[in-house]
Chains A and B, each alone.
Chain A
Amino acid sequence: MAILLQQVFENTGKVTFFTKRFFKAITTQSFELKEFLKQCYLLGYKAFPLVGITGFIMGLVLTLQSRPTMVKFGAEAMLPGMVALSLVKEVAPIVTALICAGKISSGIGAELGSMKVTEQIDAMEVSAINPFNYLVVTRILATTLMVPLLVVFADCIGMFGGYLAMNIHSNVKIYRYCSQILETTSFIDILPATIKTVFFGFFIGMIGCFKGFNAANGTESVGRAANSAVVSASLSIFIIDLIAVQLTDILFKS
């Protein structure tokens, strides 16, 4: 138990120093724009198809499963608004973030871990290139920017899925569907949900980079870094979500 506690404190300390180093680097080091754009493409753009398919299915399934209950209460007209609110506020951010934790965070963990094990990070260091600035800062900033965009994309695709699901059982015009969504959702619903996805993106990148950059020597540690990145990033997403919901409740209650 004592050893476990010691490990928890040690890791917390290391993550804190890693985060501090990140913020110091973005304020003092030169910005690697080319690498940042490359990472936005590799980590974000390439995840669009997966997030799109998942978002579509989420919207479709959510509508199909909610419909019988809504019909029972005579509130079928409110179904688009309910689905949209569910997607925007919770389902799309959480599911997209979890997909990104699985795809992006593990990918970063494995990539940087492999670079560490094969001395590529050391090679960069001895070539007088700052590996933290080049590898870590760019990836964290890329995930911080791209995850919110992926969530917005998932929201839109999910609502489209919901529209198709509505039309399986009834004939709903697209403008009526959209106006129902716009009537139900407000800026206050979208803003906190979007802000929390920025934190999701930051932690997905940060945890992946931390695990990979601090991988021990040996190929086994690469797998461990990838696996540990997914678990830690997923857990952090739920914790951030819990905090975000509480804060939103306090700040936007009125």
Chain B
Amino acid sequence: MNQQETIFLLPQAPKTDTTSDYAIDIKDLWKSFGKNEVLKGVELQAKAGENLVMLGKSGSGKSIIIKCLVGLLPVDKGVLKILDTDITGLSYAELNKIRLQVGFLFQNAALYDSMSVRENLSFPLQRHTKNITATEVKTAVSEALESVGLLEAIDKMPSELSGGMKKRVGLARTLILKPSIILYDEPTTGLDPITSREISELILEIQKKNNTTSLIITHDMACAKLTSDRIVMLNDGVIYTAGTYSELEQSKDEWVQSFFH
């Protein structure tokens, strides 16, 4: 059985009757921590197969949005639709089915320290794939690592990997479940320009190869330029503006300009 076949054994996400073009559809999202209102009615949509980059100042709530999207943080108010399913009212089991369709690359990769690279990748696969044999797991792990160009690190521990390698392994771990949507939390932060470009190219390659929808949070304008189909900018808890890289680059708005120049 190859990796493509493996996905059919994964639990399928609950589907609703309604269908839309959007893989991610956020409406009127509000989130506060105590008295600090971070998100004040965010509206955001990402089409299926689109690479959407989100820009904004540090602490503006970009990571909060994607954490709300996967149910890591409860929302105060709003509708969060992933693949036509509103996740805000789902039970834990239903939410987990949706989570299988969503990959999440954490800022620091969040590899399991106590497991080798091989175990990091096989761990989610073995748990979510029924009747999978050891050979099939081995093949799937090798394929995922090969797709990020890191097959030689298969038996290394996370502590033996560089920052860029960790990001790649994190990406491979995300890819192994063949998600429809991938959320990237600052994928190039802390990396040198060459490795940053490699990661950006990898994001682009994954999107083209698997037609995944990507929501990329970044401060790296080179990454934004390379990967984005569209950019949204978050300011003061709402989406301030949106457009393609070239449209926003030519914007007369002073705040927007401060990101591009």
- Give which listed residue, B72, B97, B110, B111, contacts A128 with CB less than 8 A: B97
* Residues B72 and A126 in contact, CB atoms below 8 Å apart: yes
* Residues A120 and B112 in contact, CB atoms below 8 Å apart: yes
* Residues B99 and A119 in contact, CB atoms below 8 Å apart: no
A127 on interface, CB distance cutoff 8 Å: yes
B259 on interface, CB distance cutoff 8 Å: no
Q: Nearest Cβ in chain B — how far from A225, in angstroms?
A: 16
- Chain A 128-149 against B: per-residue CB contact (8 Å), 1 yes, 0 no? 1110000000000000000000
* Residues A122 and B100 in contact, CB atoms below 8 Å apart: no
* Residues B108 and A119 in contact, CB atoms below 8 Å apart: yes
Chain B residue with Cβ nearest A127: B124
B127 on interface, CB distance cutoff 8 Å: yes
Chain B residue with Cβ nearest A122: B72
Q: Nearest Cβ in chain B — how far from A7, in angstroms?
A: 17
For A128, the chain B residues whose CB sits under 8 A away are 96-97, 99-100, 124, 128
A234 on interface, CB distance cutoff 8 Å: no
For A184, the chain B residues whose CB sits under 8 A away are none
* Residues B113 and A120 in contact, CB atoms below 8 Å apart: yes
- Chain B 89-114 against A: per-residue CB contact (8 Å), 1 yes, 0 no? 00010001101101010111011110
* Residues A118 and B97 in contact, CB atoms below 8 Å apart: no
- Give which listed residue, A120, A129, A130, contacts B110 with CB less than 8 A: A120
A90 on interface, CB distance cutoff 8 Å: no
Q: Nearest Cβ in chain B — how far from A249, in angstroms?
A: 44
For B107, the chain A residues whose CB sits under 8 A away are 119
* Residues A118 and B72 in contact, CB atoms below 8 Å apart: no
Q: Nearest Cβ in chain A — how far from B96, in angstroms?
A: 4
Q: How far is the CA of A127 from the CA of B111 in the complex (A)?
A: 12
For B71, the chain A residues whose CB sits under 8 A away are 125
B83 on interface, CB distance cutoff 8 Å: no
A195 on interface, CB distance cutoff 8 Å: no
A114 on interface, CB distance cutoff 8 Å: yes
* Residues A119 and B113 in contact, CB atoms below 8 Å apart: no
Q: How far is the CA of A124 from the CA of B97 in the complex (A)?
A: 14
Chain A interface (Cβ < 8 Å from any Cβ of B): 114-115, 118-120, 122-130
Chain B interface (Cβ < 8 Å from any Cβ of A): 67, 70-72, 92, 96-97, 99-100, 102, 104, 106-108, 110-113, 123-124, 127-128, 173, 177
21 pairs, A vs B, C-beta closer than 8 Å: A115-B113, A120-B110, A120-B111, A120-B112, A122-B67, A122-B72, A122-B106, A123-B106, A125-B70, A125-B72, A125-B99, A126-B104, A127-B123, A127-B127, A127-B128, A127-B173, A128-B97, A128-B99, A128-B100, A128-B128, A130-B96
